[in-house]
Amino acid sequence: MTAKISIIGAGMTGSTTAHWLAEREIADLVLVDIIEGMPQGKALDLLESLPIIGKDVSVVGSNDFEATKGSDIVVITAGIPRKPGMSREDLLTTNAKIVGDATTSALKYSPDAIFIVLTNPLDTMAYLAMKIGKLPRERILGQAGVLDSARMRAFVALETGVSVENIDCYVLGGHGDEMVPLTGRSNIAGVSLREYLPADKLEAIVNRTRKGGGEIVSLLKTGSAYYAPSVAVAQMAEAILKDKHLILPASAYLQGEYGLKEMFFGVPVQLGRGGLEKIVEYKLDADEKAALEKSAAAVKESIGVMQSLVKI
């Protein structure tokens, strides 16, 4: 039987996620959005492109969650970006309602689905969805680490002129300005970035990685990144549906790993058909541990603010 992936939110990120997934030909797709005609139009446009590339999957757009029935994976991209004059509390309150409603509605029709959350603030929204949906941690993940690590790889390639295929980067922590690029473990063909690059060049790459999303927002003026976040989701979904046991960085619910518990946080995870299979723990040096603790404090603060605003 063909697998099914439903994407909640048919904006640029949601529709581009559908695009990348359709190219992989791994599942039938459903786009859901509250705007009448928009998910239907995007789904039809994507469906009409598939004969050109020789891919056979179903692509459906709907304003009704009933269309998501029987989904193997539910991707939540719905939400609003932070706008000028909007406080963090405003963003949390608005997106918490959107993510909460999406989780509840999707579970009504797909009680066994695995969830991948993209809505910001990412780690906090994944925590909210888990609590509202009463989901086991194996079945809910936040997409951030694949994106942040890819950005770092791209910046290293730009600096060195080396193919991205030779570059491996690892970014842990919360999805925000306090994320933790592991410069010692990240490497070019096995050579640590700390050895390959001068300290000032490496520091510039780390800072650009942390500000990667903001850099794109400032260039676009309206809107935010969608190509890289959406293909990151596609990689995670493919790893799950193909039972690849692939290790990727993602936001997962911690139960003591890295000395942290009862929070979502970016760590290396192994993904298979049941979702999260295990969390890989790296040995960190003193500086990396300190940076991780700082990042964790920021995530805990965000979760605390959300808990004071939303009943879960």
Active site residue 245: no
Which entry of 4, 42, 175, 185 is annotated as an active-site residue? Answer: 175
Q: Are 164 and 157 in contact (CB under 8 A)?
A: yes
Q: Annotate 111-134 with DSSP letters as a single string.
A: TT-EEEE-PSSHHHHHHHHHHHHT
CB of 241 closer than 8 Å to CB of 3: yes
User: Do 8 and 109 form a contact (C-beta atoms < 8 A)?
Assistant: no
Residue 116 amino acid letter: I
Q: Which long-range contacts (CB under 8 A, 24 or more apart) does 37-42 make?
A: 38/10, 39/10, 39/63, 42/10, 42/15, 42/18
Joined together, the tokens standing for residue 111 give: 């009680």
- Give the three-class secondary structure for 288: helix
Taken as a whole, the chain contains a residue count of 312
User: In 63-214, at which residue ranges do the beta strands (DSSP E only) sit?
Assistant: 73-76, 114-117, 140-142, 167-168, 171-172, 180-181, 187-188, 191-192
Are the beta carbons of 115 and 143 closer than 8 angstroms? Answer: no
Count of alpha carbons within 13 Å of 4, Cβ hemisphere only?
17
The residue whose two tokens read 């390959």 is 196
Max CA separation in the chain (angstroms): 55
Within 8 A by CB and 6+ apart from 156, the residues are 162, 167, 169, 186, 188, 193, 197, 205
- Provide the annotated active-site residues: 175
